[in-house]
């Protein structure tokens, strides 16, 4: 027994007879769905001491055969439904999403009283619930005197439930029950079907597909069936995908897992199949790959957006174009249907390839405009890998530096020390000189870019020194390579300037925080009138938070005259979009082709993906703490 069935029971109890049509009007469902729920109610009443009887042209009524037994059963049902009042923010959030999705109106004041929380707190949580619903394609309807509820097509309801099951640990107990009991069976059946039909699906797409079948089964059991789809949801794909959909439904029915074989259900399952299929040449290595003109037309705006913002020109990179085109075939289906797919390597990809990830975020902007919905960070991470490969394909020859090695007096140890450097870092070194500590006084140190020493040096020298072991260990190798690749960290002070470091921001919402930060900048230097609007426009296309209390917002179009990096520290964390943020690094980089710029992005991304260093900046609250964290 759930809350919806209890509502039906209460309506039937109030009348001698009530028709399915009348009940449907009360619960705001179709008559067919209402009859399905009445069937479920009849099954629930089997051991209650009462039964649901129907009479043609009259409707339904409740016939109580054992009053004492029935009232005891009813009390137990009420207790089960009300057994747990949501207490945590997440429990209340999921409770609110379920209330919205139930289709029945509810009022803020009533829920505030029932949940024992203030209307102010509940209003904030309702806004969070609304964001989950709207990203799935649902709309919140508000009617004076009645309250609010979610409206939309059944496919959108299912996507909202899938999001909650994937990213939250509570709520939607009926779907979680199906997930616990049948997900393994559904997974086995799908894998067997795909093997027989020669379909290869990525692991992440397969997980999404199984979750969709779980939710669809639970919703069909409740009478929420998709009869047909039209408009942008109408599937016009390959017949093989539709055949696979029919086979999957038949297999599920054979194992008593309900899923209707309607045209609408078949079309959407076929779309999930097509949206997750891995093409045989995933990296575009086959020059004979055929990509439709519609897909080809998506690639140029992506590459143009990267060039306009970062000055990186991929226009003649045929291999990258093939990779993008191949990936966009399934991506196009997922975007048209709003199918969310996870990327298990999201965090690692963003941390390891920060500049490629920035390119992918920029390339996603014209895609978001084309489809009328933001591209998720999980999807962007797949593009990140491709753009990283594109960068590798056209990577410049590493900048070579003049290096001085300082070691003990032994000649053999000196030669071995130099040999290790030549073997490991020869691509980065133009000139390698070895000396002892005693010879240091007779060498012009200004002729070298870097000094590495195996012994302590207690005198002042004009160049940065890194002390390493005589026998280079893995940790030493990584430190040296990072120094040679990224260079002297003093360049960071040309990006991060003390006059653009601000603390004590008091805003409680993202847009207000960005406006507050821009106003502080205007007190130091002028900004274009449309600068804030351009930053807010960028946020509409995808969140710029990194998930470690940090965000890296930037405008759609950069300032034409100079690089600008602004750091703002909030007094308290605020909700950005999906994560809390307390450190804001607002950037507008005009000279994006310079080597230093790529080093800036790499260093900044490493900082933002390290929550410990972010917290150090927040707690330290001064410019030098920021610089130490960047160089750490």
| Same-domain pairing of 181 and 270 | yes
From 81, 112, 139, the end of a domain falls on: 81
Domain boundary, last residue among 427, 455, 487: 487
- Residue at 164 is within a domain: no
Residues 481 and 502 in one domain: no
363 and 477, same structural domain?
no
Angstrom distance (rounded) from CA 286 to CA 18: 66
Of the candidates 99, 13, 131, the one whose C-alpha atom is nearest the C-alpha of residue 63 is 13
Any domain includes 285: no
Asked if residue 611 and residue 510 are part of one domain, the reply reads yes
pLDDT tens digits for 368-427?
989 988 898 899 999 999 998 888 776 555 678 899 998 876 566 778 888 889 888 888
Residues 618 and 543 placed together within one structural domain of the fold: yes
- Contacts of 397 by beta carbon, 8 Å cutoff, 6+ apart: none
How far, in Å, are 10, 178, 210, 277 from residue 186 at the CA level? 36, 10, 7, 18
Selection from 391, 382, 270, 279 nearest residue 326 by Cα: 279
Contacts 24+ apart (CB under 8 A), 441-450: 443/404, 445/404, 447/402, 448/402, 448/403, 448/404, 449/401, 449/402, 449/403, 449/488, 450/401, 450/402, 450/403, 450/404, 450/483, 450/484, 450/488
| CB-count exposure of residue 572 (10 Å: 0-12, 13-18, 19+) | exposed
Residue 287 lies in a domain: no
**CATH code: domain of residue 234:** 1.10.1790
In a domain, 516, yes or no: yes
302, 325, 331, 357, 396 from 386: Cα distances, Å: 12, 11, 14, 10, 18
Helices marked H in 136-258 — which ranges? 154-167, 173-196, 203-221, 239-254
Nearest partner of 162 among 279, 334, 34, judged by Cα: 334
- What does the pLDDT look like over 589-625, one tens digit per residue? 876 556 677 778 778 877 877 888 899 999 998 999 9
Pair (122, 241) in one structural domain = no
Residues 261 and 334 in one domain: no
Domain count, the chain: 6
pLDDT grade for 230, boundaries at 50, 70 and 90? low
Residue span of the structural domain in which 329 resides: 293-376
Q: Considering the domain boundaries, does residue 386 fall inside one?
A: no
Quote the CA–CA distance of 260 and 269 in Å, as a whole number. 11
- How far is residue 348 from each of residues 255, 374, 386, 387, 585, measured CA to CA in Å? 39, 22, 15, 15, 21
pLDDT-wise least confident of 71-80, 237-246, 279-288 = 279-288
Residues in the chain, overall count: 632
Residues 6 or more apart whose CB falls under 8 angstroms from that of 215 comprise 158, 161, 162, 165, 175, 178
Q: Of 264, 270, 259, whose CA–CA distance to 227 is shortest?
A: 264
- pLDDT (tens digit per residue) in 79-112: 666 656 787 889 999 999 999 998 889 999 888 8
Last residue of a domain, one of 81, 105, 131: 81
Give me the mean pLDDT over the 466-478 stretch.
82
Determine, yes or no, domain membership for 283: no
Residues 525 and 621 in one domain: yes
Q: Please tell me whether residues 368 and 406 are part of one structural domain.
A: no
Is 389 domain-assigned?
no
**Parallel, antiparallel, or unpaired: how do β-strands 50-55 and 429-436 relate?**
unpaired
DSSP 258: -
CB 133 within 8 A of CB 100: yes
**CA 205/CA 274 separation, integer angstroms:** 10
Q: Which CATH number does the domain housing residue 40 bear?
A: 1.10.10.10
pLDDT in tens, 124-148: 999 999 999 998 889 999 999 999 9
Mean pLDDT is lowest, of 2-16, 90-104, 255-269, 562-576, for 2-16
pLDDT 10s digits, 565-585: 999 999 999 998 778 899 999
Residue 56 has pLDDT above 80, yes or no: yes
Q: What is the DSSP letter of 440?
A: G
Whether residues 182 and 265 share a domain: the answer is: yes
Task: Record the tokens describing residue 238, joined without a space.
Answer: 């390959």
Q: Are residues 27 and 147 in the same domain?
A: no
What is the per-residue pLDDT for 283?
46
How far apart are the C-alpha atoms of 104 and 247, rounded to whole Å? 35
pLDDT confidence of residue 15: 80
Query: By the 8 A CB rule, do 564 and 517 touch?
Result: no
Tokens of 424: 């490991």
Find out whether 154 and 224 touch, Cβ atoms under 8 Å. yes
The answer to whether residue 406 is domain-embedded is yes
Q: Give the CA-trace dihedral at 330, 332, 334, 336, to 10 degrees.
A: -150
Q: Are residues 625 and 512 in the same domain?
A: yes
């Amino acid at each position: 027994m759930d809350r919806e069935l209890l509502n039906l029971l209460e309506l039937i109890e109030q009348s001698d007879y009530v028709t399915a049509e009348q009940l449907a009007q009360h619960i705001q469902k179709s008559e067919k769905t209402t009859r399905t729920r009445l069937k479920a109610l009849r099954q629930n009443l089997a051991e209650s001491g009462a039964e649901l009887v129907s009479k043609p042209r009259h409707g339904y009524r409740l016939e109580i055969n054992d009053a004492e037994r029935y009232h005891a059963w009813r009390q137990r049902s009420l207790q089960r439904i009300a057994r747990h009042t949501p207490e945590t923010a997440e429990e209340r959030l999921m409770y609110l999403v379920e209330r919205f999705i139930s289709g029945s109106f509810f009022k803020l004041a009533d829920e505030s009283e029932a949940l024992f929380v203030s209307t102010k707190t509940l209003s904030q949580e309702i806004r969070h619930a609304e964001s989950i619903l709207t990203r799935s394609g649902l709309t919140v309807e508000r009617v004076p005197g009645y309250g609010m509820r979610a409206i939309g097509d059944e496919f959108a309801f299912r996507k909202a439930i899938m999001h909650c099951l994937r990213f939250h640990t509570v709520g939607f107990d009926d779907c979680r029950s199906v997930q616990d009991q049948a997900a393994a069976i559904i997974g086995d059946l799908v894998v067997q079907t795909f093997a027989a039909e020669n379909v290869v699906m990525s692991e992440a797409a397969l997980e999404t597909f199984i979750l969709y079948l779980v939710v669809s089964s639970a919703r069909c059991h409740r009478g929420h069936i998709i009869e047909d789809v039209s408009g942008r949801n109408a599937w016009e794909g390959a017949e093989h995908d539709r055949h696979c959909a029919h086979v999957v439904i038949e297999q599920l029915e054979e194992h008593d897992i309900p899923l209707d074989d309607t045209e609408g259900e078949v079309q959407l399952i076929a779309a999930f199949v097509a949206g997750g299929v891995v093409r045989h040449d995933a990296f575009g290595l086959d020059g004979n790959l055929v990509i439709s003109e519609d897909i080809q037309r998506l690639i140029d705006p992506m590459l143009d957006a990267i060039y306009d913002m970062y000055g990186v020109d991929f226009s003649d990179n045929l291999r990258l174009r093939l990779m993008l085109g191949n990936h966009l075939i399934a991506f196009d289906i997922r975007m048209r249907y709003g199918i969310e797919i996870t990327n298990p390597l999201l965090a690692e990809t963003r941390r390891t390839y920060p500049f490629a990830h920035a390119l992918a975020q920029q390339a996603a902007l014209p895609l978001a405009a084309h489809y009328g919905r933001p591209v998720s960070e999980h999807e962007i991470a797949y593009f990140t890998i491709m753009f990283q490969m594109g960068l590798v394909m056209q990577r410049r020859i590493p900048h070579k530096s003049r290096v001085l090695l300082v070691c003990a007096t032994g000649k053999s140890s000196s030669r071995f020390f130099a040999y290790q450097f030549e073997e490991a870092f020869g691509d980065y070194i133009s000139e390698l000189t070895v000396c002892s500590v005693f010879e240091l006084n007779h060498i012009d140190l200004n002729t070298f870019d870097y000094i590495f020493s195996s012994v302590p040096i207690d005198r002042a020298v004009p160049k940065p020194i890194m002390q390493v072991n005589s026998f280079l260990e893995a940790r030493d190798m990584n430190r040296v390579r990072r120094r040679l690749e990224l260079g002297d960290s003093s360049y960071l002070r040309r990006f991060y300037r003390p006059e653009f470091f601000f603390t004590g921001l008091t805003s409680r919402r993202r847009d207000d925080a960005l406006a507050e930060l821009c106003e502080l900048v205007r007190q130091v230097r002028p900004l274009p009138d449309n600068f804030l609007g351009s930053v807010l426009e960028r946020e509409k296309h995808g969140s710029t938070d990194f998930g470690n209390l940090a965000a890296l917002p930037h405008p759609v179009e950069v300032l034409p005259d100079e690089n600008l990096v602004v750091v703002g520290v909030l007094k308290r964390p605020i909700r950005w979009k999906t994560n809390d943020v307390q450190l804001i690094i607002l950037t507008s980089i005009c000279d994006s082709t310079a080597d230093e710029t790529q080093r800036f992005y790499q260093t900044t991304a490493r900082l933002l993906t390290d929550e410990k260093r972010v917290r150090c900046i927040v707690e330290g609250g001064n410019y030098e703490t920021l610089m130490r964290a960047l160089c750490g």
